[in-house]
Amino acid sequence: MVPILSVDSLSKRYKNVSALNKLSFNVNKGEVLGILGPNGSGKTTLLSIILGVRKACSGTFNWFGENYTHNINKRIGALLEVPYFYPYLSVKRNMEITAINRNCTTDEIYQAIEQVELTEKLNHPVYTLSLGMKQRLAIAQTLVGNPPVLVFDEPTNGLDPEGIAFVRRLIRQQHENGKTIIIASHNLDEIQRVCTHVIILKNGQSIANGKVDELLKLKQIVQVETDKVEGLKAIVANNPNFKIIDSYSEGITISVADNEAIKLLNEQLTDKNIVPKLFEIRQPSLEEIFLDQVAK
Amino acid sequence: MKHILRTEWIKTKGFSTFWTLLGLHSILFIVFVLIVSQLNIQLQGVTIARFFAPEHLWQTTAWLASWFNLILAIIIAVLTGNELSFSTFRKMIVEGYSRFELMLGKLFLSAALSVYVFIIVTITGIAVGYFSGAWTTLPTFIHFKYTLIIAIQALAYMVLAITFVMIFRSTALSIILYLLYFALIEPIIRFFFNSPWDSYFPVKIISNLTPMPNFLGIIAEDLQQLQSIDPNTLVQVQNAPTGVTLLPSVLIAIAYTLIFIGVSTLIFKHRDF
């Protein structure tokens, strides 16, 4: 099966800073790929390049098995960073500008506007809309023409909890309709809830890539609380098998690779006479996997 | 092409600043030309109305209109600069417009404004012709070519404005530098070049498309009727050298316009948005 998006050794430099460094990955039909990474990891640069807004220094990418041309973007609904509009034009006119290039009818504009619940704002100038409404309008523009692929860069930026839940519902709905979706976000909980696959970027490179379920099985999380926290920290710091994810006054949260590492930790605590008040083993959240990978 | 025209029309139609500046351009120009043509100033028997006589009317009107072409360049600079400051060029690329189409949209807009200049100069010229009594029956179109040429001049000014905005990316900075280039930078550069090379600089060539009517020649013509002047002297005054002649000026101005379009297209093609 031809991947929807295939990225091969993509690199981008801004003067002396490497934003992307030989990045390669594929996105297959029907996947919801989450792109994670700290600030400056290259998420927006990556999306800008694959959408033709910026030029890569080297490497290639193709969509739908075809070399990139501007016409490819007509098959992709994309929201890049903050929503951009002609603020002096009405919601309808802004939608028309998107629709004209995609040969869409006025009915399709109304449908997209209805999906994001902005029908009553149709004739209002965009500058009168709240940030949340603008974000919804930007999402409506991505839906015009029913493109098979959606790309969202921080889609829940500036949204209140109700708005976030709305976007989450919409993404799930679009996924159920068979669309392939790519989301770059800081909101790890959001990614875990809606994505099937994830790629974690650091300094423009992929440090983890795969199905969300499989990534969550790669590590285990151990939360330990004791009166001798400093002693506990010393044990963990001296062993490369353990990595501190979180530290607080009563204890620490660490990630470990397997059961052997947990056994080893237990033995070392006994040797040092450190009695845990709490010793809890659980599956990690995506946030903990992210922190584990990024802290490497 | 049709979709670019429709898109540009939607964007421009709803932009009130565009209509304000365009209204300002037409009102200032029409009022100015009508007032100047109605002035009854006589200097030693020569009246200003002579400059609006049928044989000079179109050149004088085109020359006066050329003073207002900078407003059109500012309009285009504002419209192009808006696209950069609102990041809507970026958005349009994301939505599937090609970079060349973005450039083409602004070129179409500039061309439309050139047609507007042609129409407004023609209408104003006809109105002035009748109001000043130059025509009693049908209008005459001696030197009407200047009305077409001013449209070329307007286009060249606007395309240069697009190039400035694409280079400097800021509307305000681009407009300031554009005006400085006209008024200061190019004249200073020209100062270091000898004749005839100083006549071939872009602004010089483009502004020479609508040369100042030969007022001295017209005055001398009138004076000849009042006093006896050697006809040979008159011929010399009327044919006083004014740098590059009209046809080469038009061709070079068109060449410069194409160069500006080329530079802007290259910037559009290679710039990160």
C-beta separation of B248 from B261 below 8 A: no
The least confident of A47-56, A68-77, A109-118, B132-141 is B132-141
Residues A114 and A28 in one domain: yes
B7/A100 Cβ within 8 A? yes
pLDDT computed for residue B225 by the predictor: 63
Residues of A in contact with B97 (CB under 8 A): 70, 101
Is the Cβ pair A70, B98 closer than 8 Å?
Answer: yes
A169 and A135 fall within a common domain: yes
What pLDDT score was predicted for residue B44? 64
Count up the domains in chain A and report the number. Answer: 2
Q: Final residue of a domain: which of A153, A182, A215? A: A215
Tell me, what's the pLDDT at B200?
A: 92
pLDDT score of A296 = 62
CATH number at residue A114: 3.40.50.300
pLDDT given for residue B240 in this prediction: 46
Same domain, A147 and A252: no
A contacts of B11 (beta carbons < 8 Å): 86, 89, 97
CB-CB neighbors (< 8 A) of B12 in chain A: none
Output the CA torsion B190→B191→B195→B198 (10° steps).
Answer: 0
Contact B139, B129 (CB under 8 A): yes
Residue A218 pLDDT? 82
Domain final position from A164, A184, A215:
A215
- Whether A163 and A209 map to the same domain: the answer is yes
Of A51, A97, A102, the CB nearest to B11: A97
Amino acid making up residue B24: L
pLDDT tens column, A259-274: 888 888 888 899 988 9
Burial of B253 (0-12, 13-18, 19+ CB in 10 A): buried
Structural domain span for residue A236: 218-294
Beta bridge partners of A246: A253
Residues A174 and A265 occupy one common structural domain = no
Residue B31: the pLDDT is 93
Å from B270 to nearest chain A CA?
A: 8
CATH of the domain at A232: 3.30.70.980
Name the residue among A53, A84, A93 with its Cβ closest to that of B88: A84
What 3-state class would DSSP assign to B96?
coil
- The residue type found at A62 is N
Mean pLDDT of A179-185: 95
Mean pLDDT, residues A185-189 taken together: 84
Mutate to test the interface with A, among B95, B103, B269, B271 (most CBs of A within 10 A): B95
A235 and A208 in one domain? Answer: no
**Where are any strands of DSSP class E within B80-126?**
none
A-chain CB neighbours of B273 within 8 Å are 53-54
Domain extent listing, chain B: 2-270
pLDDT in tens, chain B (273 residues): 889 999 999 999 999 999 999 999 999 999 999 888 887 777 666 677 778 888 888 999 999 999 999 999 999 999 999 999 999 999 999 999 999 999 999 999 999 999 999 999 999 998 888 887 767 666 777 788 999 999 999 999 999 999 999 999 999 999 999 999 999 999 999 999 988 888 899 999 999 898 888 776 776 666 666 565 555 655 554 444 456 788 899 999 999 999 999 999 999 998 888
Domain-terminating residue out of A215, A248, A268: A215
Phi, psi of A122 (to 5 degrees): -50, -40
pLDDT tens-digit series, residues A124-180: 999 999 988 999 999 999 999 999 999 999 888 878 888 888 888 999 999 999 999
Q: Which of A46, A70, A92, A124 to mutate to probe the B interface, most B CBs <10 Å?
A: A70
Quick one: average pLDDT of A187-198? 88
Query: Amino acid letter at A68?
Result: Y
* Closest approach of A193 to chain B, Cα-based (Å): 27
Q: What is the pLDDT of residue B30?
A: 94
